[in-house]
Amino acid sequence: MGTIWFCLVAFMIAVYVLLDGFDLGAGAIHLWVAKTDEERRQVLASIGPVWDGNEVWLIAAGGTMYFAFPALYASGFSGFYLPLMIVLWLLIVRGASIEFRNHIKSAVWDPLWDFLFCASSLLLAVFFGAALGNVVRGVPLDASGYFFEPLWTNFRLGEETGILDWYTILVGVLGLLALAMHGALWVQMKTSGAVSSRARKLAGQAWWGVLAFTALVTAVTFRVQPQVKENFTTWPGGFVFPLLAVAGIAGVVFELRRCDERKAFLASCAYLTGMLTSVVFGVYPMVLPARNAVYSLTVRTAKAGDYGLKIGLVWWIIGMILAAGYSTYVYRSFAGKVTVDKDSRGYGN
């Protein structure tokens, strides 16, 4: 049951990254692809009906983690208290900037909301990437099962690590580039005219950064976290996950050249899925690696009781059917290119 729930939590995090990832990416790039007020509203319209629903998957993933792995939840949320508060405030600022720009017309305030929307989206992408880097690198857990990390120390890998060091910054930059590409492909697919053209160009430029940093981070990760190399050596079948990422990143540039917007976006989804599942496979059975491997939290030591997990699985399946049905309905209703009414403050449809 522990392994099943480990996979389910990973699945929900992957869904969150795929869905909220494109609107975070759209926010991070929108000042570059949109030059006028109408064009910026066009970018906002591309995520308007779905951005808040996408964030629900983050809450659902956190709730699932709390239910299935209470020790992980307690340790991780206490140790990462500072960055979690930063992420919370960035989410608040991002949501407020979207809503206030929609309801208040002001030559003074609109540029501020645009900047805050862009900055908060960009920083969230970096922090989420750095968080993933922390999980892979390992945290300074002790015998009590708890830890504390400052935002940074000396930026080196050692016993006294910070949230940010040279490795987690590398992963954070990769996260930003990957979500910028993902968001640009979404904006290209949902908009038209100059905005779509600029988004396509930006996606192609970001692709080179994603390619370079994927190779760099992958090579470094095998040295930073020995468990990753050990798992892929022990179970060669796990190479299907990095191969999915390779196929995805290759598919992005291939479909961009063919001008197939939908397939290019789906290829980006494949890349992100392949990267995330590679990480999950690489760190298993650990759910939170420690710098001293003796103190690492594993599936066995962090999971809840088997009886509760079995009962919870039934309700999880019911909940996921409802969530998947609702998401499918919303995205089907939101199909096609967006339009913006020049005389309205709304984001169009």
Count other Cβ atoms within 10 Å, centred on residue 337: 15
CA distance 95 to 100: 9
CA distance 119 to 334: 26
Instruction: Give every residue of the chain whose pLDDT is below 70, as ranges.
Output: 342-349
pLDDT of residue 340: 79
CA distance 212 to 174: 9
pLDDT of residue 105: 75
Contact assessment for residue 204 and residue 259, using Cβ atoms and an 8 Å cutoff: no
pLDDT of residue 347: 56
CA distance 4 to 9: 9
- In this structure, the strands spanning 286-288 and 297-298 are antiparallel
Taking the complete model, does pTM exceed 0.85, yes or no?
A: yes
pLDDT of residue 313: 94
Where do the structural domains in the chain lie, given as residue ranges?
2-223+283-333
pLDDT of residue 169: 95
CA distance 87 to 100: 20
pLDDT of residue 159: 74
pLDDT of residue 70: 93
Element holding 322 (H helix, E strand): helix 306-333
The two tokens of residue 276 are: 């995330």
CA distance 182 to 272: 9
DSSP per-residue string spanning 188-252? HHH--HHHHHHHHHHHHHHHHHHHHHHHHHHHHHHHH-HHHHHHHHH-GGGGHHHHHHHHHHHHH
Provide the residue type at 334 as one letter: F
The two tokens of residue 331 are: 């995205």
Contact assessment for residue 28 and residue 180, using Cβ atoms and an 8 Å cutoff: yes
pLDDT of residue 171: 96
pLDDT of residue 83: 87
DSSP-based three-state secondary structure for 285: coil
**Long-range Cβ pairs for the range 97-106 (8 Å, 24+):** 98/44, 98/51, 101/44, 102/44, 102/345, 102/346, 102/347, 103/345, 105/345
152 pairs with which residues across the strands? 164
